Amino acid sequence: MQEIVTDIVHEITEGSPVGEVKPDVIKQFLEELPQKALGIGIRIVLAFLFFLLGVQIIKMIRKITRKSMQRAKADKGVMGFVDSFVKSVLYLLLLFLIAASLGVDAAGIVAVIGSVGVAIGLAVQGSLSNLAGGVLLLILRPFTVGDYIISESGHEGTVEEVQMFYTKLVTIDNRVVVLPNGNLSNHSLINVTVADMRRLDIPVSVSYDSDLRLAKTVLGRLLEKDEAVRQDREIRVFVSELADSCVRLNVRCWLDKEDYWEGKWRLTENIKYTLDEAGIAIPFPQLDVHLRKEKA
């Protein structure tokens, strides 16, 4: 297209002083205009068809790449990152080929892309940091898809997808949290479910008038009967603090990570029922105030 425009300008101004155009050249140009416009239109249509074909080829390549990684049993986070990276690179290559087919100088495209790339690189340093962070997350693997993590910013949830620039978490109430990869790779985080088991600690308060030995015995029996509690790991009920209004006990046991929340909720409820049946009171916070009457 650029060559056609150059030829047209050259034909109109060839052999003529500046600002002067020959009438016969204008006539010839008008006669050839429909044919040249048709040629440009055909190029545009072919470029559009080439774009549609390229989109289908890109989808096929992405599908083949995903299946290959699935057969290799690659991590889901790696699969998502590679898929988004391949998609971006192939679409840039497709646009480059379409521009070249329209007659745009390839060297000029490369020069423009280089200069624009430098400017964009300075403007989007954060995005490049996120890209590098995504690569580090895939190499170091502090978490994988399906892990429950807590970031330094306080956001927590199950890792659903690791993309080129961002990581998606799904919270317990089914909200989606999008975190930059740069922050996740440069700051501390807690991987809650990386281990097969989790320790559960439930604080329990009993009154000073209660029988501590009886309280510890009935709570220990409760832990031994619960189906989610791992009997091959530590099970303890101990006094953790002598507080102002109560004696604080700590109920400690281990659960498989998939049973953690259901086990915690069930044990917390059953602790209340067990203490009530044993006649052990859970005191309310209280403050004794003594008033002294001053003599007149």
Domains of the chain and any CATH numbers: 2-74+83-123 (1.10.287), 132-191 (2.30.30.60), 197-277 (3.30.70.100)
157: nearest Cα among 85, 146, 41, 247: 146
pLDDT in the model for residue 68? 82
Tokens of 243: 């507080």
Q: Between residues 19 and 265, which one has the greater pLDDT?
A: 265
208: nearest Cα among 250, 239, 247: 247
Burial grade of 272 (CB within 10 A; 0-12, 13-18, 19 or more): exposed
Q: Is the pLDDT of residue 18 over 50?
A: no
| Dihedral angle computed from the Cα positions of residues 52, 53, 54 and 60, in that order, rounded to the nearest 10 degrees | 120
pLDDT in the model for residue 38? 65
Q: Between residues 74 and 119, which one has the greater pLDDT?
A: 74
pLDDT in the model for residue 6? 52
**pLDDT (average), residues 59-77:** 80
Range of weakest confidence among 82-86, 161-165, 237-241, 254-258 = 82-86
d(CA 87, CA 53): 15
CB 86 within 8 A of CB 62: yes
Q: Say which residues have a Cβ less than 8 Å from residue 76's Cβ, sequence separation at least 6.
A: 144, 145, 146, 161, 162
User: How much of the chain, in percent, has pLDDT values that exceed 90?
Assistant: 32
Q: Between residues 223 and 21, which one has the greater pLDDT?
A: 223
Q: Is the pLDDT of residue 150 over 80?
A: yes
The sign of the torsion formed by the CA atoms of 230, 235, 237, 238 equals negative
